[in-house]
Amino acid sequence: MDESIPLILDSSVFRQVPKLNSQLFKEIVKYTRVGIYKIYIPEIVEKEYISWIKGEAQSSYDNVVKATQLLHKYYESPKILGFDFTFNATASIAANEINGILKKVINNWNDFKVNTNASIIPILPEHGKLVMDAYFDGATPFDKIKNRVDIPDAFIYFGIKEILNISEKVVFVTGDKRFSEKLQGETILCFDSLSDLFSSGPAKLDGQYFNHLNSDDRSRILLNIHKEYILNKLSSELAVSELADVFSGDLIDHTIGKYHDYSFDINNLSYLVGDIKNISDSSLLVPFSANIICSIKSTASKVELSSVDAQRLVKIEREVDDGEFNLCEKYETPISGHFSVTFQDGDPTTWKEEKQSDSIFSEPEIKEISLALEDLQANA
């Protein structure tokens, strides 16, 4: 298989879809998992994207503060013990909400980097001198001498040149046509948008691409492309597996007080790509590991709780309800095993998640992918 082509996205691309959840961004994930592209993110692009979002958040907060302050002209705030009480509860609530959203935005950005296996191009000490030399000379990518507006672009440009030290060419996507025109050349291939990249870029993930793969590479690539879907299916299989019944049954026998019900969660589910084995041309045997968490819910009296070991008691979630305690005790056990996955023939680019029945409880499925839990065991 060919080496991955370095792909760099300008901050203008990220700002077009701030949630990074459009179909085009999903295609980026596929292209990087296949190995067609390798994502590099200049540090300056990351800073521009994050600071832009923080600026939007600050602007939203300022608007809330301004709106609530304007309303004060219609009434006089009451004094408490002779002092003005000017606490802006609405602004405080807005600040907490905005800060919570900002944390989710940062997490979403970090998830994107993980999902695409992106590498950050750091701003190196020598980049400052290179940027300043170009700034005073009016050299690429500056429009003219001492044009401050182009300084961020200059850091991106010298970041791209770092990648050209290890690769013959770089693909760069930017919505800034002026910037694009300056960089376009034999070694820097520029595109105005992601749709432009996928329609006329140097490589395509289409039916023809898969036709040229041998069966082994095809199956392994599909396993990587559909990672989230396969892990979700595996998680569903684990939740109804025999091990889950045995595990919960043993724990129920040790319930404190009166047992009510139990539930399962699967954490840290992952499979080991390096140890995959071929069962057939289209089927793989894949090892996996996970942590299974069983939550046992019960009701107990104060007397029943008093006999519980202190070390065990400290780990139990409990709430008082009409003199009794509602308990939730969680047990976590590492498990491992194998699952088999089979991919049908045909063009994988046409596969879609679809409802397979009329039941409102059924999950969308990709009918061309089938999965079965082969073996599993609880680890000591």
The pLDDT of residue 58: 86
pLDDT of residue 292: 87
- What pLDDT shows up at residue 181? 93
Q: What's the predicted TM-score (pTM) here?
A: 0.81
pLDDT (0 to 100) of residue 376: 85
Q: Are 163 and 150 in contact (CB under 8 A)?
A: no
Query: Where does CATH 3.40.50.1010 sit in the chain?
Result: 5-200
Q: Which CATH class is domain 5-200?
A: alpha beta
pLDDT < 50 stretches in the chain = none
For 92-123, how does the pLDDT look when each residue is reduced to its tens digit (9 = 90+)? 888 888 888 888 889 999 999 999 999 999 99
- pLDDT reported for residue 79: 62
Residue 80: per-residue pLDDT: 56
